[in-house]
Chains A and B, each alone.
Chain A
């Protein structure tokens, strides 16, 4: 009976998956969008933690006792910065000398994977663009996602990690889809 209880507990909790998520990878869809003439060259400035976001929420998120961290300076704000940089770099539109600077503040970083039927994650940040020091864009961007979850942690935890990491790509896609953001980066 005791053995059975241990087995059931292991099935419910799942394999240990604590550690950093994988490095951000650029996507073909974002690259194709960024290659368009509506986007100019940029450099990426500071992306930090918004005052309202707890330091712990920038450092890690957790799901069913497994802690996920960022491979970029142990900060998910830095991971978001890397996401934006990586996409612009892949499209050859990252220029360290550009007068157009994209910066931001991470304001939401949530992973809710305890549910046995549905899990959710959310990412939010205020993004601003300055052109030679003048603000050309300043807007909050929020992306949310949900997916079917499972009772067994061995299934639910890896799923949660993948969906959470993919949220950063969704965030960049949402940002690039904003015509005002594109206009702010474009050469006048």
Chain B
């Protein structure tokens, strides 16, 4: 039995990779390197669209793997997502608990495998990946969906952002248009920062979000 640390980020295609790594390491030796796609960059708080009257928000977050809730990965990234949302300055307060006059923000990151260049295109990913690299390479797609329910009214605002992490095993070259991460955990956290900040930025840019009114006492 192979034993891996339990509190590590394991993406959808990663178990296959681990198996490949095990085989590669056993038979010939090799290393695993993660790259964050350059197609999406972080939106910093000063680049975020300004809201005239920030409202409190109740934040729900979940990480999914191929559409299924992944509660362990959710636990790992939850605090990070809360910090990114707090740092966005879009809301007067951010809490997991319901609060008077608060809207609800539901953030979902779904990890979907990308099996080929055509698969990436079909799923709407614009990645810098070149398939068929020397050595073995796998790509994980990430789709972040942000749903916002304002404090009053039922007009849901939805935005969606896509990102990718590419992982090579014993590759002789790095994927083009991607930045090497220290390790898989680091890649996951960089991806989270970039994809969530972009989802929040798109949300804030929606005219319906800009006109959200505070709840009357």
The residue that B75 contacts in the complex, of A17, A23, A27, A31, with Cβ under 8 A, is A23
Residues of B within 8 A of A (CB): 1-4, 6, 10, 15-16, 18-19, 22-23, 26-27, 58, 60-62, 65-66, 68-75, 96-98, 104, 106, 147, 149
Q: Would you mind naming 19 contact pairs between A and B with Cβ atoms under 8 Å apart?
A: A7-B26, A10-B1, A11-B23, A13-B1, A15-B3, A17-B6, A19-B6, A22-B70, A22-B75, A25-B60, A25-B69, A28-B60, A32-B149, A92-B98, A152-B19, A155-B16, A159-B68, A162-B69, A165-B69
Give A13 to B22 CA distance when docked, in angstroms.
12
Majority SS of interface residues in chain B? mixed
CB atoms of B68 and A162 under 8 A apart: yes
Q: Chain B residues near A24 (CB, 8 Å)?
A: 71
CB atoms of A21 and B104 under 8 A apart: no
Q: Chain B residues near A16 (CB, 8 Å)?
A: 1-4
Majority SS of interface residues in chain A? helix
Residues of A within 8 A of B (CB): 3, 6-7, 10-11, 13-19, 21-28, 31-32, 65, 89-92, 147, 152, 154-155, 157-159, 161-163, 165-166, 169
| Centre residue among B15, B73, B147 by max chain A CB count within 10 A | B15
| Distance from B75 Cβ to chain A, minimum over Cβ atoms (Å) | 4
Give A32 to B23 CA distance when docked, in angstroms.
47
The residue that A166 contacts in the complex, of B15, B18, B26, B68, with Cβ under 8 A, is B68
CB atoms of A31 and B60 under 8 A apart: yes
| Distance from B142 Cβ to chain A, minimum over Cβ atoms (Å) | 16
CB atoms of A163 and B68 under 8 A apart: yes
Q: Chain A residues near B1 (CB, 8 Å)?
A: 10, 13, 16, 65
The residue that A152 contacts in the complex, of B15, B61, B147, with Cβ under 8 A, is B15
Give A37 to B70 CA distance when docked, in angstroms.
31
Q: Chain B residues near A92 (CB, 8 Å)?
A: 98
Give A147 to B69 CA distance when docked, in angstroms.
13
Closest to B23 in A: A7
CB atoms of B106 and A161 under 8 A apart: no
| Distance from A11 Cβ to chain B, minimum over Cβ atoms (Å) | 5
CB atoms of A28 and B106 under 8 A apart: yes
Closest 9 CB pairs of A and B: A22-B71, A154-B15, A92-B98, A28-B106, A22-B72, A16-B3, A166-B69, A22-B75, A162-B68
CB atoms of B22 and A21 under 8 A apart: no
Q: Chain A residues near B16 (CB, 8 Å)?
A: 152, 154-155
Closest to A170 in B: B69
CB atoms of B71 and A21 under 8 A apart: yes
Closest to A21 in B: B71
CB atoms of A90 and B60 under 8 A apart: yes
Q: Chain A residues near B70 (CB, 8 Å)?
A: 22, 162
Give A157 to B60 CA distance when docked, in angstroms.
26
Q: Chain B residues near A13 (CB, 8 Å)?
A: 1-2
Contact flag A7-B60 (CB < 8 Å), given A28-B104, A28-B147:
no
Q: Chain A residues near B68 (CB, 8 Å)?
A: 147, 159, 162-163, 166
Q: Given A15-B2, A23-B74, A90-B96, list of 4 further CB < 8 A pairs?
A: A10-B22, A154-B19, A161-B72, A166-B71
CB atoms of A6 and B26 under 8 A apart: yes
Contact flag A155-B15 (CB < 8 Å), given A15-B3, A16-B1:
yes
CB atoms of A91 and B98 under 8 A apart: yes
CB atoms of A162 and B6 under 8 A apart: no
Closest to A169 in B: B69
| Distance from A10 Cβ to chain B, minimum over Cβ atoms (Å) | 5
